[in-house]
Amino acid sequence: MAIPEEKDKVSTQETENTQPQTDDSKTIYDESLPKGQVTLFEAADKTSAYLKIVSTTSGEQFTKDEILEIINEIGVKSEININQIEEALATLKDQGDIVKTIKITASSPSDAIGNAALEIFFNLDDPFVEEGEMLLKALETEKSGKDIYGNEITLGKGTKPAITLGENVIEKNPGEYFSQCLGRVSFENNILSIKKLLEVKVSSDKMTAKLTYIGVTKLTHTMIMDEVRAKGIKFGVDEALIDNIVASFENEAKHIEDIVIARREKTGRRT
């Protein structure tokens, strides 16, 4: 239901809070009283209420308490903007016979909490994962709150937490994040990454290759050589050293870092 049009005189300022936000606002109170006509409207989603007063010519004015009593009688439980009502009544008394439709209350939706919108699949205390394992699922939250009558309502969709992809993580489906390798998960400041358990790094001059391994599973010669081949290393691989490294992992898991397992000899030209 649309708000009735105003008469020529208006007695409150033009502000963003003076008019209902939709054209389908509903009248919830409309009575002709000895001091004048009082009309209350609710927004279509019941999240805000509006007041309009048309004074009689008797000169006797409504008081703040009389208006609050009417609002209370119709069951409005949201916090009332009393200052807005007092200013409108004062203006009505001084300047005119109409209080323009003013916003007197609004519900207060609670903002969605980012952490509550994440479903975590890896173990935070033991964050080691296999390749292809789902790590996180970002869920779309809903903004909830209460209407002007105190009823719980959903006020609209929230947003998904913004996840920044680090190394070795892929977003297969919107909001679903998976590991691209066997490794240890790091998730800080919404940055999701995986440190490989087994990694061979080739130097910038391509003369050496170093092995790093975080020991949580049994290390094998094949595991290392598969990574070596994946990096395209064809020369200078010290397989005897690799066998010794593997043997050292037979009894217990260990952590090695930056062990040179391949070295290419420099060649020079005779002049």
Which pLDDT band holds residue 6 (cuts at 50, 70, 90)? very low
Percent pLDDT > 70 in the chain is 76
Distance CA 187, CA 174 (A): 18
Number of residues in the chain: 271
Distance CA 268, CA 91 (A): 96
Tokens of 209: 């290759």
Domain 117-141+160-195: which CATH number of 3.40.800.20, 1.10.357.10, 2.40.50.100, 1.10.1200.10: 2.40.50.100
What mean pLDDT is predicted for residues 1-10? 38
Which residues touch 247 (CB under 8 Å, ≥6 apart)? none
- Digit-coded pLDDT (tens) for 246-257: 887 766 656 777
Across the strands, what pairs with 12? none
Distance CA 40, CA 256 (A): 74
- Digit-coded pLDDT (tens) for 36-83: 889 999 988 888 899 998 877 666 788 999 999 999 999 998 888 898
pTM of the model: 0.44
Which pLDDT band holds residue 115 (cuts at 50, 70, 90)? very low
Q: Which of 25-34, 70-79, 149-158, 204-213 has the lowest mean pLDDT?
A: 149-158
Query: Where exactly are the structural domains of the chain?
Result: 26-106, 117-141+160-195, 198-263
In a 3-state reduction of DSSP, which class is residue 241?
A: helix
